[in-house]
Amino acid sequence: MSVSVLSPSRLLGGVSGILQVASLLILLLLLIKAAQLYLHRQWLLKALQQFPCPPSHWFFGHFQKFQQDQELQRIRKWVETFPSACPLWLWGGKVRVLLYDPDYMKVILGRSDPKSHGSYRFLAPWIGYGLLLLNGQTWFQHRRMLTPAFHYDILKPYVALMADSVRVMLDKWEKLLDQDSPLEVFQHVSLMTLDTIMKCAFSHQGSIQVDRPSDPTEEGSTTEGRGAGEGQEEEALGFPGHPPRGQREAPGLPRPCCSGCACFRNHLDQMPYTTMCIKEALRLYPPVPSIGRELSTPVTFPDGRSLPKGIMVMLSIYGLHHNPKVWPNPEVFDPSRFAPGSAQHSHAFLPFSGGSRNCIGKQFAMNELKVATALTLLRFELLPDPTRIPIPMARLVLKSKNGIHLRLRRLPNPCEDKDQL
């Protein structure tokens, strides 16, 4: 008796054979992939042998050392232990080389290596491919086209719009003073910044801060709130003739205007102490903690160490600004570091980076910071909430894990004529 070709036993045998062949192919592919990863890791170990680093797990890398938002503390420790640069193993064959020496970073910023595509690609659906994400000739053309719009003289008329946005925020703060509780300021400052951009870039006539009420309980972060500090000059807020805090009524000195937009326009470049305080705050808490670059060609650093093509380097702005070999006592708030003529001044990239891809809007940002700082300190005394000290954590930008909570105290207003704005 013959057995049918389509009998169940033959079908099962055929399926079993196919599965066996498929399993062998998958196993073979896995072995090939494992061999590739092993060879790639060995190549990386050889390429990075000049750069010591803490012990890492063969698969998890240094990931376990950065749990519970301890990344910034680890970076500060590595900066003190490993000179100039240190590899950060992510997992398997993935590695980033952290650079926190100014001479090393200047070498990278002087090149035309593209930005890390992996670190920024998820932003493309939100912001599109503009100056932040573009590379090569297209970036250069866009940059050249936009640069005239950020000329110093072009930005001067925007100061009035900046002052208007800050005043709306400060008026909201006055209404919240009766609540006798610390104010979480991140959302307020974010809306004020958005308001300024909408007015300056898009001629928006309304106020985002009024149209969209902020939620005082929403937590976030910017740089940690600080006062202008103890001024050793008679222009603590930068206004001509403005005395330091506590000496507002010093005899022989003119009374400062509460807002003085004209004063801002004419004297933004004459606010030395305020500028020093802003830069020192940005050094301690850089909004962008690191910038990624992928080496398109090999690079050799001033001390002779080198990296091959294809290695991803991270310019650790946070690490540079907390490097004790560059900044003595880096955790201390000391605005005198940025005094004119200071030798350390050239080592600060702040949030604006450097080289050909430095921030095109740095003058706009500094103007807004000066206006917001001066107007705020003329109306309020800012005190930190000792029960909720901000806990910085590194993401794409520097954030506070628990928000930024401040206690406000209204200061006497020496000038009630707000029409001067």
Residue corresponding to tokens 């079993």: 16
Distance CA 163, CA 143 (A): 28
CA separation (Å) from 7 to 16, 17, 192, 260, 332?
14, 16, 77, 95, 83
Distance CA 335, CA 230 (A): 10
The residues near 193 (Cβ < 8 Å, ≥ 6 apart) are 165, 368
- Comparing CA positions, the residue from 122, 96, 159, 106 lying closest to residue 358 is 106
Segment 386-390 long-range contacts (CB within 8 Å, at least 24 positions apart):
388/182, 390/221, 390/224
User: Can you say which residues are annotated as belonging to the binding site for heme?
Assistant: 359
Give pLDDT, residue 223.
36
Beta bridge partners of 315: 99, 291
Tens of pLDDT along 29-75? 999 988 988 898 899 999 999 999 988 888 888 877 766 567 898 89
Hey, which bits of 317-397 come out as E strands?
A: 380-384, 392-394
Q: Name the pTM for this structure.
A: 0.78
Given a contact cutoff of 8 angstroms between Cβ atoms, the answer to whether 147 and 360 are in contact is: yes
Give pLDDT, residue 179.
67
Vertex 86 angle, CA 84 and 96, to 5°: 125
**DSSP string for 113-157:** PPB-HHHHGGGHHHH-SSTTT--HHHHHHHHHHHGGGG-HHHHTT
- Comparing CA positions, the residue from 161, 206, 169, 147 lying closest to residue 368 is 161
CA separation (Å) from 227 to 33, 108, 170, 370?
56, 35, 15, 12
- Comparing CA positions, the residue from 254, 267, 237, 313 lying closest to residue 47 is 313
Which pair of tokens denotes residue 147? 């640069």
- Comparing CA positions, the residue from 190, 203, 189, 199 lying closest to residue 164 is 199
Residue 61, phi-psi category: left (phi > 0), alpha (psi -120 to 50), beta (remainder): left
Which pair of tokens denotes residue 156? 């001067």
Per-residue pLDDT of the chain (421 residues; tens, 9 = 90+): 455 555 666 655 666 778 888 888 999 999 998 898 889 889 999 999 999 998 888 888 887 776 656 789 889 999 999 989 999 998 877 899 999 999 999 999 888 777 766 666 677 777 777 777 777 788 788 888 888 888 878 888 899 999 999 999 999 999 888 767 889 999 999 999 999 999 988 888 888 888 765 454 444 333 333 333 333 333 333 333 333 333 333 332 233 444 445 555 566 777 889 889 999 999 999 998 988 888 989 999 999 999 999 899 999 999 999 999 999 999 999 999 988 877 665 666 666 776 677 788 888 999 999 999 999 999 999 999 999 999 998 888 898 988 999 999 998 865 544 444 3
The residues near 416 (Cβ < 8 Å, ≥ 6 apart) are 258
Give pLDDT, residue 218.
43
- Comparing CA positions, the residue from 180, 223, 256 lying closest to residue 409 is 180
Give pLDDT, residue 361.
83
Which pair of tokens denotes residue 204? 């928006």
User: Can you say which residues are annotated as belonging to the binding site?
Assistant: 359
Give pLDDT, residue 416.
47
